[in-house]
Structure 1
Amino acid sequence: MKLKLISCFIFSFLFLRIAAFADVNIVKGKVVDAKTNEPLIGATVSVPELHVSVATNTNGEFTLRSVPANGRYVVQVQYISYKTITQTVDFSSTTALVFALQPSIIETHEVVITGTPVTAGSKYNSTSASVVSKEQLQGSSTNLIDALSKVAPGVSQITTGPGISKPVIRGLSYNRVVTLSDGVKQQGQQFGDEHGIEIDQNQADRVEVLRGAASLQYGSDALGGVINVIEPSSPPEGNIKGDVLSSYSTNSGLINTSVMLSGNENGFVWRGRGSYQNAHDFKTPFGYYQNSGFNQSNFSGMLGVNKAWGYSHLNFSYYKNNIGFFDAEPGDELYRNETSRTLEYPRQDIRHYKLAWNNNFIFGSNSLKLDLGYQKNQRRELEDSTIPSLFFDLNTYSLDAKYSLHEFNGWRPVFGLSSSIGHSVNKGEELLVPAYDEYSAGAFGFVKKTWEKNTFSAGVRFDYVANKGKEQVVDGDEVFTGFDNKFSNLSGAVGFTHIFNDDLSFKSNLGTAFRAPNPAELGSNGVHEGTQRYEIGSGNLSPERSYQADATLEYGSGIITGSFGIYENYIHNYIYASNTNNEQITITDEGSGDLRTLDVYRYGQVNANLYGFEGNLTLHPVSFVHFENTFSYTRAQNRSFDRPLPLIPAGVLHNTLRFEPKIKGLNDFYFYAGIDNFFKQTRVDATFETPADGYTLLNAGIGATFKLGSQPLKLYISGNNLTNKKYYDALSRLRPGRYSQEDPTFGVYNPGRNITFGFYLPFGTNK
């Protein structure tokens, strides 16, 4: 295993040496107002594929230094109160670039999507996608997924209080959603729903949410979609930039602080960030839910080079999260009137270490992207001391290579390879999932054709996945029988986009995808403490196979912007755990010696059909008023037993009225009021789920940017659930029926009123 990783690094190093002889190029240009031809000072010009960005000077001019001398690249130009431009530019041209921006109350009319085989503007990309900015991620959210669920259509979350969120896209979650960070698939025992995704919520400069099957590029697990967390671009040569942010939330006393600093000296780039979060028990309308606090420490950094031959960045990160959980039983008191930041037992200790080496080597008009990764995920459950009772230790090595050929006659071909090796061991006394080894390899071919106002794309991929669970005997009893499964799959996809005019565009997709069963589904046999149930896997499970179609219409004019999409996803051999026939088991608690009776959940397979719609609509009656609306609905049916599929989010409608009046002495002043409408979820699997009532939450906020010398300081206040509404979210793991089948009325309300006070201070030089 180590030899393979070393070989990959040597391979990358050789390419680095060869590519170092690439020609050096400088691209110059200017950004102006399309109506007056006046220069726009401080406009941002970026090339996402090269991880470079610059700002225009007092004459509206910019210079991109040390960029490739050949090739066509997507350039994005942004400026406040103007339409964003994305344009493909031939870097071999000697003509100075001129970008003429149209004034608009819509700032993000067009965005660049990088998480697909070919980087392109959203209009030219058939994938249904949303881009969430850093500003949108700030506010009263408690983690990254919580923030995305409030602003990205089609995204929701499975929660265990404010500290734990799992992403759900179009009704699919767990191993069916891929999360990318530093270009590497996050590997952290995704089968568990009682811990998050081990990513610092402050590190993202923006997040791309790709909705729909994405197995073509990412292989197994991308049935529902992809969350691509993108860190800030390096500053221009000779500059340093950074930021400081902090916030305090009243409900759980959450303190969130983060500091980042990055620099670029003659193409040698670096970045460092440190973040810390601390929260006590969260408060419901009935009191503080016991032992629900958490504290989280994150450290990350990057060292690399940006040159004409491309870039090579070494990223490293350390994540640690301590989370309390209340081992309650029916009849126990759930709430208390006062709280502290000291976590009691039982609790979790989650740690994630990651190294990612991201490379993009330019060969004339061709390029090779090579991402190498190593991750160590450690998940400890501590019952009554710092000695873990359950301890998963997962080590994952990964490689992802993508070779893009030059464009000819409008055709852009891409070929890719990926592989990973996972090795998990049990280091605790309690056992749930056997120690296992997981191997995967895949290859794909993709082609994209653009002509006039149309874009066509198609691709095919082959995957091979092997899971080997190890037999284990304890005190003469066989706990795990072991398994040795091998899966392979051929999948494909086609996409089409058409731009009717500057305001209206259409996109559609048709494809297949697959997901191999994970080790928990194949081999579980034990108490899952975080879920209060006994889980039993099946070594005979088959891969899930998805057949999906979607279509989206997007519109953006001066006063109306929006999109509306529909989708259908038929999944053959859909896997989930259920409690059938009220099966129970009685076990002896190793700590106290007491007998415990738990519901038994067995993993099985059915055929499932998920379909629905999602979209957004924003009205701009005048320049300083924005009426923003997002909506989504998923209907999911267990076709094998003709009943609803479990763990499906309720329909939701977010409405926000935002005002941005011009006030002398204040920059970017705004205030808003919003209503979140969550509809009833009566379509539940009655064998182990209970219906959830609908509810409405009132939110509001205010903020402005002040000047500290030449540096901006953003101050804001935001409030959620201002009426202190008592409610159960349909996907909360603490709601009635999820927490205890023995007493279906036994549950924990979601957090009550929460007000967040925060600031954000970006700073840096501008040479």
Structure 2
Amino acid sequence: MKLKLIYCFIFLLIRFTAFADVIDIKGKVVDAKTNQGLAGATVSIPDLRIAVATNIDGEFTIKSIPTKGKFVVQVQYLSYKTLTQTVDFSSRASLVFALQPSVIETHEVVITGTPITSGSRSNSTSATVVSKEQLLGSSTNLIDALARQVPGVSQITTSQAISKPVIRGLSYNRVVTLNDGVKQQGQQWGDEHGIEMDQYAAGRVEVLRGAASLQYGSDALGGVINVIDPPTPSEGNIAGEFLTNYSTNNGLSNTSVMLSGNQDGFVWRGRGTYQNAYSFNTPAGRYINSGFNQTNASGMFGLNKSWGYSHLNFSYFKDNIGFYDADPGDPLYNNSTSRTIDYPRQDIRHYKVALNNNFLFGSSSLKLDLGYQKNQRRELEENPVPNLFFDMNTYSLDAKYYLPESNGWHPVIGLSSSLSHSINLGEELLIPAYDEYSTGAFVYAKKVWGQNTFSAGARFDYIKNKGKAQNDAEGNPIFTGFDNKFSNVSGALGYTHIFNDVLSFKANAGSAFRAPNPAELGSNGVHEGTSRYEIGDANLSPERSYQADATLEYGSGFVTGSFGIYENYIHNYIYASNTNKEQTVVVDEETGLPRSYDTYRYGQVNANLYGFEGNLTLHPVSFIHFENTFSYTEARNTSFDRPLPLIPAGVLHNTLRFEPKFKGIKDFYFYAGIDNFFKQNRIDPTFETPTDGYTLLNAGVGATFNVGKQPLKLYVSGTNLTNKAYYDALSRLRPGRFSQEDPTYGVYNMGRNITFGVYIPFGTNK
């Protein structure tokens, strides 16, 4: 009945707005100095999910654009500064965008993951945009690719297939991953639970650093990773891509094919991706049973009309991941390159349907995102019968209404709600079956005057978690159950100032909150994926965060860069730890033999996280770029005056990139880079061990060739070229993280890896 009411509401909105006035917008993109047209420039309107390319004369046409309303337009072209401009289409005038030649192409980009779409320089949130091309390379998953690109972002890894995002030292349920406008829900509380998402489906990715709870509610204390689909082509056109690559270290082969089209406003897209890898190689040998295979299929169909757009997205994700259940002293490596995944392993399925809408009402609009997700996570120990089997269904709604601008103020009101239902279908139990309900509402306003932008907002959240009690066959309690209700009011302030064309400043301050998740409240059992016994606490309080940050950005023809500082005080910070070397003995039901597990209990402390991050790029000449990114996080458990666990080491990335021009070859580049990871001895001494610093050498080369009129991009990238033996501070396989009994137990990170890739974009441009 709820779904029927929602669909009727959408239908009525479409009927009321179906007869809005529309026009075809014509324009031209030119060189600001020569006034010559630029062929192949991209003109996009993110809020309408439309992108077109200019023809040989630099001209473009965007059809069926609403005559009322202002929209942010982004114009991009290689070797020119990106132009971001708000356009009022009611003037019906032909548009001319004059681009300035520059080695800086992304100093100003559009950010859509904040309450109001705007250029990055006038947006107070610290944000980085990662393009489709930057996601290609030698990474093994989406988070791995982002951690190599974005300052302040790192990853908690388990082998090669599982990466959990870390932003400014915060991870797990403190970072929101967004796709198709819907929060990704996949039992992300687990140490070895990765992100169920196709790396190659993204058109681009926005990484928002700092608390984003105002718009996204609980769980966004650390930041947001917003995965954005490619825009639909203009009317009468099709667009597609084919990509494939192969990595030497683990035999990882990736193949992905996408095709999309637009016929009279009916838009569609389909994609299929397959990945397969055998055990990864370290300087000491191949880590046993660390291969994986992944199958992804997704599609979209919908309407782009004068009233806005309505897109129905659907996807299927399947991941099989091998694990090695070793005891201290067992061999860790062999030389097998078999692609057969042995037991123990994970079998993960994720199904998702999302309905994304943007309804235009003249100078106001309504964005409405509805989602359904089904996450099935099986952990198989010795046979196809799962030992642990979590089955979760999540329904979600997110609505934002944009009121007309008034005296320079841009107000937004929002409402979000979700319902999750999780049950246990496996033989073993770790967390109780539970229901989680959340709802929240926010108000937000943004004002621009001169070179200043001010924003403010407030949010109310209500969350209810109910865990079900359960006894074993003898009537002994396994789970006592819990029924918790949490509510909170939070607020945020933001300010930006653009001093001139090259220098700008932004700052934020605010509060946020996160409710304890069901695993923290009710765990009681062996977690096979982490080889430990976990115990929750039903009396945990919600986390409350108070954070502030400030960033200075500079971009000229010779130097571009940014430097930011931040502090985040979190009251009642929750994490699991093993104190006093506590162990729990469990009798294996199949063998009848006892086995000891380290016991991890969830508790709370007060925490303070602070640090800095930034980037600096030097352009001595147009074809040479010396790129540097750096980040450092200090995290203290202020209750016991010691470091917090699972905090990334300081890192400095240095890359020298050459982009000379050759006749007949486009976008040629060559780079060599050094990644410096510093020693991490800021650890929780109760269950962590320090890691040494290390330096990795990377390099790559690539270019685009035209076969007739068809572009063909070829690239080769290499990581850890010296085959350095090292342990990353956030690897769960490093010494002391996987076994307290033997602190020498540990698995090196991946050794030398060289990836060969092909990328072929294709389509029409009518």
Per the alignment, residue 595 of structure 1 pairs with: 594
Shift of 1:664: 2.5
Counterpart in the other structure of 2:397: 399
Q: 1:194 Cα shift?
A: 0.8
Deviation at 1:521, TM superposition (A): 0.1
> Paired residue for 2:245?
247
> Is residue 252–residue 277 contact of structure 2 (8 Å, CA) maintained in 1?
yes
Distance (Å, rounded) in 1 between the aligned partners of 2:231 and 2:563? 31
Q: Distance in 1 between matches of 2:726 and 2:352?
A: 38
Deviations 1:650-694 (A, max 9, x none): 000000001111122321111110000000000000000000110
1:313 and 2:297 are equivalent in the alignment:
no
* Cα distance in 2 for residues equivalent to 1:9 and 1:408: 31
Percent identity between the aligned chains?
77
Bigger Cα displacement from structure 2, 707-716 vs 611-620: 707-716
Aligned CA RMSD, in angstroms, stands at 0.8
Deviation digits for residues 438-470 of structure 1, max 9, x if unmatched?
Answer: 000000000000000000000000000000000
Cα deviation, residue 7, structure 1: 2.5
Query: How does the TM-score come out when normalised to structure 1?
Result: 0.99
Distance in 1, matches of 2:683 and 2:107, equals 38
In the other structure, the counterpart of 1:607 is 606
Match of 1:473 in 2: 471
Look up the SS of the partner of 2:202 in the other structure: coil
1:48 deviates by 0.3
Q: Is the 8 A contact 1:5 1:397 kept in 2?
A: no
What are the residue-to-residue correspondences of 1:309-458 with 2, within 5 Å? 309-458=307-456
The number of equivalent residue pairs is: 765
For the residues of structure 1 that align with 2:739 and 2:43, how far apart are their CA atoms?
Answer: 54
Matches of residues 25-174 of structure 1 in structure 2 within 5 Å?
Answer: 25-174=23-172
C-alpha contact 1:352 1:378 (8 A) present in aligned 2: yes
Offset, 1:338: 2.4
Residues 548-697 of structure 1 aligned to structure 2 (within 5 Å): 548-697=547-696
**Equivalent position to 1:464, from 450, 462, 472:** 462
Shift of 1:387: 1.3
Which residue identity lines up with residue 678 of structure 1 in the other structure? F
TM-score, normalization by structure 2: 0.99
- Tell me, yes or no, if the aligned pair for 1:71 and 1:406 is still in contact at 8 Å: no
Secondary structure at the aligned position of 1:172 is classed as coil
CA distance in 2, matches of 1:338, 1:392: 31
* Matched letter for residue 234 of structure 2: P
Query: Aligned partner of 1:321: which letter?
Result: D
Whole-angstrom distance in 1 between the partners of 2:519 and 2:631: 30
Equivalents in 2 of 1:8, 1:136: separation in Å?
A: 38
**CA–CA distance in structure 2, aligned partners of residues 482 and 249 of structure 1:** 47
Deviating above 4 A after TM superposition, structure 1's stretches of 4 or more consecutive aligned residues are none
Aligned to 2:298: 300
Question: In the alignment, is the contact (CA less than 8 A) between 1:737 and 1:745 conserved in 2?
Answer: yes
Deviations 1:677-722 (A, max 9, x none): 0000000000000001100000001111111221111001100000
Q: Which amino acid aligns with 1:415?
A: I
**Cα displacement string for residues 708-745 of structure 1 (whole angstroms, at most 9, x for unaligned residues):** 22111100110000000000000000000101001111
Of 507-516 and 402-411, more deviation after overlay is shown by: 402-411
Aligned partner of 2:497 in structure 1 is: 498
- Native 8 Å contact 1:284 1:751 kept in 2: yes
Amino acid at match of 1:30: K
- Can you give the 5+ residue segments of structure 2 that lack an aligned partner in the other structure? none
SS of the residue corresponding to residue 741 of structure 1 reads coil
* Conserved 8 A contact 2:55-2:765: no
Q: Partners in 1 of 2:420 and 2:589 — Cα distance?
A: 30
Q: Report matched runs for 1:747-758 at 5 Å.
A: 747-758=746-757
Q: What's the offset of the Cα at 1:23?
A: 1.6
What letter is aligned with 1:545?
R
CA shift digits 1:360-403 (9 cap, x unpaired): 00001100000000000000011111111110000000000000
* Deviation of the 1:62 alpha carbon: 1.5
Give the whole-Å Cα distance in 2 for the aligned partners of 1:50 and 1:506: 29
CA drift at 1:593: 2.1
Say which of 258, 275, 278 aligns to 2:276.
278
The Cα of 1:474 is off from its aligned counterpart by: 1.1
1:530 aligned onto 2:529: yes
Aligned counterparts of 2:78 and 2:417: Cα–Cα separation in 1: 42
Q: Kindly indicate whether the alpha-carbon contact (under 8 Å) linking 2:738 and 2:745 is maintained by their aligned counterparts in 1.
A: yes
2:707 aligned partner: 708
| Letter of the 1:165 counterpart | S
- Residue 209 of structure 2 is matched in structure 1 by 211
One-letter code of the match for 1:754?
N
**1:9 Cα deviation from its structure 2 partner:** 2.8
Residues 67 and 309 of structure 1 are in contact (CA less than 8 Å); yes or no, is this contact kept in structure 2?
Answer: no
For residue 151 of structure 1, give the secondary structure of its aligned residue in structure 2: coil
Instruction: Determine the structure 2 residue equivalent to 1:289.
Output: 287
- Partner Cα separation in structure 2 for residue 12 and residue 211 of structure 1: 33
Aligned partners of 1:573 and 1:4: how far apart in 2?
37
In structure 1, what is the Cα distance between the partners aligned to 2:411 and 2:377?
A: 41
Rounded to whole Å, the distance in 1 between the matches of 2:123 and 2:689 is 40
Distance 1:34 1:227 in 2: 35
CA displacement, residues 490-512 of structure 1 (integer Å, 9 cap, x when unaligned): 00000000000000000000000
1:96, CA displacement in angstroms?
A: 1.6
Deviations 1:109-161 (A, max 9, x none): 21000000000000110000000001111100010000000010100000011
* Worse overlay, 628-637 or 10-19: 10-19
* Matched residue type, 1:455: T
**More displaced 10-residue stretch of structure 1: 510-519 or 6-15:** 6-15
Q: Please give the alpha-carbon distance, in whole angstroms, between the structure 2 residues aligned to 1:631 and 1:388.
A: 43
Displacement of 1:31 after TM fit?
1.1
Number of the residue aligned with 2:543: 544
CA contact (8 A) 2:573 2:607 kept: yes
Code of the residue aligned with 1:247 in structure 2: it is: N
Cα drift, residue 629 of structure 1: 0.5
- Give the secondary-structure state (helix, strand or coil) at the position aligned to 2:317: strand
SS in 2 for 1:756: strand
One-letter code aligned to 1:751:
M
SS in structure 1 of the partner of residue 435 of structure 2? strand
How far 1:8 sits from its partner (Å)?
2.3
Helix, strand or coil at the partner of 1:431: coil
- Take 2:306 and 2:186, find their aligned partners in 1: how far apart are those partners? 36
Distance 2:184 2:275 in 1: 21
Q: Quick check: 2:218–2:513 contact (8 Å CA) kept in 1?
A: yes
Structure 1 CA distance, aligned partners of 2:11 and 2:377? 34
**Structure 2 residue matching 1:8: 3-state secondary structure:** helix
For the residue of structure 2 that corresponds to 1:530, the secondary structure is: coil
Q: One-letter code of the match for 2:3?
A: L
Measured in 2, the distance between the counterparts of 1:604 and 1:211 equals: 26
Residues 211-266 of structure 1 show CA distances to partners (whole Å, capped at 9, x for unaligned) of 00000000000000000000100011101110000000011110011000000001
CA distance in 1 between partners of 2:581 and 2:558 (Å): 56
How many angstroms apart in 1 are the aligned matches of 2:234 and 2:18? 20
One-letter amino acid of the counterpart of residue 497, structure 2: H
Amino acid at match of 2:607: A
Work out whether residues 698 and 718 of structure 2, in 8 Å CA contact, stay in contact via their aligned partners in 1.
yes
1:731 alignment counterpart = 730
